[in-house]
Chains A and B, each alone.
Chain A
């Protein structure tokens, strides 16, 4: 067996256009993934840094309540023994205001003991070390605090009951490398001012934290386990830096995971492009290959030589893909602007290049196997008979196909770092491709049954079935890409419409938190509006009918959990937007005969989560105090109003005296909001308030940025369809010329020829986009209905626009790719046909 280099090079030169399409398909299959993987490494290394800096310590202890004595004692003991160094922290939201002026601002406070942070560094604008700046009476704040309140370094602000000086500006915090979304900017306060603030009360919404730096790293797990034994499992969590994932890391992991899914999808579609373009090339070469076989070349000769050719083209495509990937990666910081810190510089390493080459090689081998295997089936008799049947596929073919699918699955699992999701992705992708293929075949078959109105259209329709036309591949690839894009758009639009844009005008737009019981009357007076206060008692659900909640299998609907902390409330009447689904009234009026006097009404969503029914006994832990109640009724919300709702409602008389804060929701005209905020902030420094319209707008902005990133990556998948279209036109170039010549010889003008051509591509575009719309609308409806549980609006104008634009795009690409066909002279075409 030998490589015939001259033959290979000549074949390559002669089929250079198809080869170019193949190389571009290879490049497309990997460039976005190469860019993404490299960028993910950059973000991982540069932005997220190491786990300890991100978490702030080797061991992290967290609670929403003051420390239990056992845990506090254990931590103190470790500190005294010198085994750990500890820093205690408190985080909460609070509204601050300057000492002069009437502006207010909701901020996130972190009150930390000296020594914070244990790992990493808080960098300040002045460049001074934090410990020299963060002294009693001084705070450091994010730039946004100063900008929004019109302050400068050195000015003073009211925080809680204290007046503190802004001593510097925070430019970087190790445990918050990026700002994704927050209700307010950060202020760092020394623990020396904790008492002065008077914000940390029994019922206040505060996050308590202890960060530990362990003297000997090998003791981390042992010490964490010791502390976990002393912790109250219902209230306190002990974790090591390596065993937890900070939210920002979770966010980026999820974002890159989703983008990886999209890049993998592009790889699949580009792979179809590789396969289609190679199949088209070999179909063109069929006669030449039959000649070679008739001259005595064994079957392996053709396979070896074309395999070498494909590998060479694959290498070229991989290098091109890596180069494009490197360029793309440098654009990604612009794309991620507002999500990543400014100045994040991507780093493209040799490992990224190696990974790209390996990926390209695997993709080429997997996707070209089928067409190359077909070389074995070519017989010399193909020179004499066009209807030559190829031989049946042997067992080796199926084994190799299975092996290839296995390798692809392995790669997907590795890329996504999750076996289950990797398998689901492969299965879903194959199902999508198969579904669209079926739909395409159906549409083509159904369209053939209608007598189309005029000759050009009828000829155009027949042209779709021209031998060598990759009609199915074009439609499937374009439809897949378009359906993904349209689904993303529909989901994003419907989510925004439900949660962000459809905020009813009369709905509450200002929420007040942490109103203390003794502040109720004064608050109502100062608010000056007819305002309803909702009591909030923080508690955990311990058991249902005696079975601990932790041990129950919980359906993970809506991402909620029965083991989290709940806000209980009390009242004796239903809200305006509530109706009973079980029980004649909220509470049984005559509890005589019931063994447990205390009742609770439960919202249907949480009842479903815990499989709860009327009469079930629920046990709660209300800040250390146990309480048991029987379910008296189950409610549902009509969602006729956007109003606060509570999972668990108790009769007023039973919880009136429990430790509680109050929550209020109010609707104000925008021009009145600032005035009320200022009055409340000056009178009640501990009360936080959230402006919902502002928050909703910020969330909407973040959602739009993220959708933009996803759409950017998803858009590349359309290129795969375009490449296949170009490849198909090249492959059937001679056939198209012949047809055009026949039309001309038989008396048709150039306008007829052009019309047939345009209609053919218009039909391709229409079939692709209609399939995409059918699939995307169905998938979006199902996701909105069953996953997000929101109303679905199909946005038909967008779908119609998609259909029109796709038709135009396919016609344009087709015309550009076929420029030479219409200029071909009949005599030359006929002679070429004779020679063919």
Chain B
């Protein structure tokens, strides 16, 4: 039996906007095993992104617990969570979110430099070469195409060898050809580095490639099956 790397217990999230309370997630309990490729799928507004942000520690739940690698991260301080995000978690965003003032290789190096990794440059170079962007290493985000930006973002997410990689609609802003290439890259790297990959998407094609699918509807689990 593989180890559980991520577990949630009765996870819930609600937002208050002026005088309205909007429940995004409701009583979600799930587990994810180490090294697994899991897709979280559902229609637009089903709570995929919200679930991903709670699992990755980017946001705090309204109620419930999140346990990452055996540690309850629900009530950790921001600085504790920051260290987790730097060392154990990688995140790939739909909108890429590269630092505009840093070029491609510098964006990738940044998380490693945060933990004072002396081999940051070498690691970044290897990753950049691996994704075929070594020639573009000095280019700034505004000079890269969407697909190139997402590849840089994936390298950035993996430079510190995180135990778990979260990807929120990584192909949402890409054309079909680039989308396929990105998903291929993610899955290849996930296998190579034996990282757990949790990917949120509304694409059934991508979902079909996962080892497990978690389906959400209106903030609740409606289906949990192996593909």
A150 located at the interface, meaning its Cβ lies under 8 Å from any Cβ of chain B in the complex: no
Known: A381-B53, A381-B59. A298 touches B101 (CB 8 A): no
* Shortest distance between the CB of B90 and any CB in chain A (Å): 9
Most buried by B among A296, A297, A301, A834: A296
Q: Tally B residues with Cβ within 8 Å of A.
A: 34
Instruction: Flag the segment in A7-15, A42-50, A477-485, A810-818 that touches B.
Output: A7-15
Give Cα distance in the complex from A553 to B108, angstroms.
77
Q: Of B111, B142, B173, which contacts A296 at CB under 8 A?
A: B111
Asked whether B189 is an interface residue with its Cβ less than 8 Å from the other chain, the reply is: no
* Docked pose: A795 CA to B111 CA in angstroms: 64
From B82, B95, B97, B156, give the contact of A297 (CB < 8 A).
B82
- A295-B100 in contact (CB<8A): no
Q: Of residues 101 to 158 in B, which have CB atoms within 8 Å of A's CB atoms?
A: 101-102, 106, 110-111, 113-116, 141-142, 156
Q: Does B3 contact A (CB under 8 A)?
A: no
Identity of the chain B residue whose Cβ is nearest the Cβ of A13 in the assembled complex? B101
Contact of A288 with B93 at beta-carbon distance under 8 Å, contacts A296-B86, A296-B114, A299-B82 already known: no
- How far is B117's CA from A296's CA once the two chains are assembled, in angstroms? 14
Q: Is A447 an interface residue (CB 8 A)?
A: no
- Once the chains bind, are A384 and B49 in contact (CB under 8 Å)? yes
Q: Is the CB of B100 within 8 A of A14?
A: yes
Asked if A380 and B100 sit within 8 Å, CB to CB, the answer is no
CB neighbours of B206 from chain A (8 A):
none
Residue-wise, chain A 284-302 has the 8 Å CB interface mask toward B (1 for contact) of 0001100111111111110
Does A653 sit within 8 A of B, measured CB to CB? no
> Contact size class for A?
20 to 34
Total number of A-B contacts with CB less than 8 angstroms? 80
Name which residue of chain A comes closest to B57, CB basis.
A380
In the assembled complex, the CB of A5 is this many whole angstroms from the nearest CB of chain B, namely 11
Q: Which of B53, B87, B113, B173 interacts with A384 by CB under 8 Å?
A: B53
Query: Do B91 and A294 have beta carbons less than 8 Å apart?
Result: yes
Question: Is B183 an interface residue, CB under 8 A from the partner?
Answer: no
Once the chains bind, are B114 and A295 in contact (CB under 8 Å)?
yes
Nearest residue (CB) in A for B141 is A835
Task: Identify which of B53, B102, B114 contacts A10 (C-beta below 8 A).
Answer: B102
Interface string of A801-836 (1 = CB under 8 A from B): 000000000000000000000000000000000110
A387 at the interface (CB under 8 A from B): yes
Query: Which residue of chain B lies nearest to A291 when distances are taken between CB atoms in the complex?
Result: B97
Cβ–Cβ contact B101 & A299, under 8 A = no
Contacting B at CB under 8 A, from A258-314, are 287-288, 291-301
A216 at the interface (CB under 8 A from B): no
Closest to B96 in A: A835
Asked whether A6 is an interface residue with its Cβ less than 8 Å from the other chain, the reply is yes
Given A287-B97, A292-B99, A835-B142, answer yes or no on A298-B79 (Cβ-Cβ < 8 Å). yes
Residue B205 is within 8 A (CB to CB) of chain A in the complex: no
CB of B83 closer than 8 Å to a CB of A: yes
Residue A2 interfacial (CB < 8 Å) = yes
In the complex, what residue of chain B is closest to A15 when comparing beta carbons? B101
Which of these, B79, B85, B101, contacts A294 with CB under 8 Å? B85
B89 and chain A: residue at smallest CB distance: A296
Answer whether residue A383 sits at the interface, using C-beta atoms and an 8 A cutoff: yes
Q: B116 near A297 (CB under 8 angstroms)?
A: no
Q: Is the CB of A381 within 8 A of B79?
A: no
A667 → chain B closest CB, angstroms: 76
Query: Within 8 Å of chain A (Cβ to Cβ): is B75?
Result: no
Residues from chain B with Cβ under 8 Å of A297 in the complex: 82, 86, 114
Q: Give me 14 A-to-B residue pairs in the complex whose CB atoms sit less than 8 angstroms apart, sorted by A's number.
A: A14-B100, A288-B100, A291-B98, A294-B58, A294-B97, A295-B85, A296-B82, A298-B82, A379-B59, A379-B78, A380-B58, A381-B53, A381-B58, A381-B59
Interface residues of A (CB under 8 A from B): 2, 4, 6-7, 10-11, 13-14, 287-288, 291-301, 379-381, 383-384, 387, 834-835
Would you list the 7 A-B pairs with minimal beta carbon distance, nearest first?
A: A296-B86, A10-B101, A296-B85, A380-B58, A298-B79, A14-B101, A298-B82
